[in-house]
Chains A and B, each alone.
Chain A
Amino acid sequence: AQSVSQHNHHVILSEAASLELGCNYSYGGTVNLFWYVQYPGQHLQLLLKYFSGDPLVKGIKGFEAEFIKSKFSFNLRKPSVQWSDTAEYFCAVSPGNTPLVFGKGTRLSVIA
């Protein structure tokens, strides 16, 4: 079965620090890749997605992610985090036409 691994359970950063959250998946074929964010008390919202083309994908709120096929990775980055980025971040993979498989999430806490 497909699986998605997010390496960090909880990340604590100071404002203006750079962020990189790791995501690896186990499926060997063509996949669609997503990062979702869940702000406290809210439902999941799409940050960015990769289907094909340029492996460097830019999303909302200054986030970007790079798809590295050889490493089965889709890491999320942001050059300078803000307090408002405090949330839980989920990587998700959709192999072909099957439902999305989510990672266990990474909780990001940004402190002033």
Chain B
Amino acid sequence: NAGVTQTPKFQVLKTGQSMTLQCAQDMNHNSMYWYRQDPGMGLRLIYYSASEGTTDKGEVPNGYNVSRLNKREFSLRLESAAPSQTSVYFCASRRDPRNEKLFFGSGTQLSVL
């Protein structure tokens, strides 16, 4: 039972490069989320998808795009990476957007030089 799987686990980019963070869940969850975690800032929501076919901006969406490819997969794209996007990125999912707990992936540590 894999749960929420994120790839890659680590990535180093140069300013201006692009990359896509992949996330997949095998729990048949409807809602998926991308958060970033920075020291002293907690987790901040970047984008989310309440259900397949929908995406919405969170608190810090600038510089990111997302794709809900199907019910299982929710990718996060950085089109032109900036040093301010150096962070740990967590994907999460839950079955019901109203009151279920979140299941988290193991995170992607991204450094932008």
Contacts and interface: CB of A to CB of B under 8 A. Distances in A.
A43 B45 contact: no
B2 interface: no
A34 B43 CA distance: 14
A43 B90 contact: yes
Interface string B8-35: 0000000000000000000000010101
A51 interface: yes
Interface residues of A, number: 24
Is chain B's binding surface mostly helix, strand, loop or mixed? loop
Is chain A's binding surface mostly helix, strand, loop or mixed? loop
Interface string B93-106: 00001110110111
Interface of B: 31, 33, 35, 40-45, 48, 50, 58, 90, 97-99, 101-102, 104-107
Given A90-B43, A96-B98, 20 more contacts: A32-B98, A34-B102, A42-B106, A43-B104, A44-B102, A44-B104, A45-B104, A46-B101, A49-B101, A51-B99, A97-B50, A97-B97, A100-B33, A100-B45, A100-B102, A101-B45, A102-B42, A102-B43, A104-B41, A105-B40
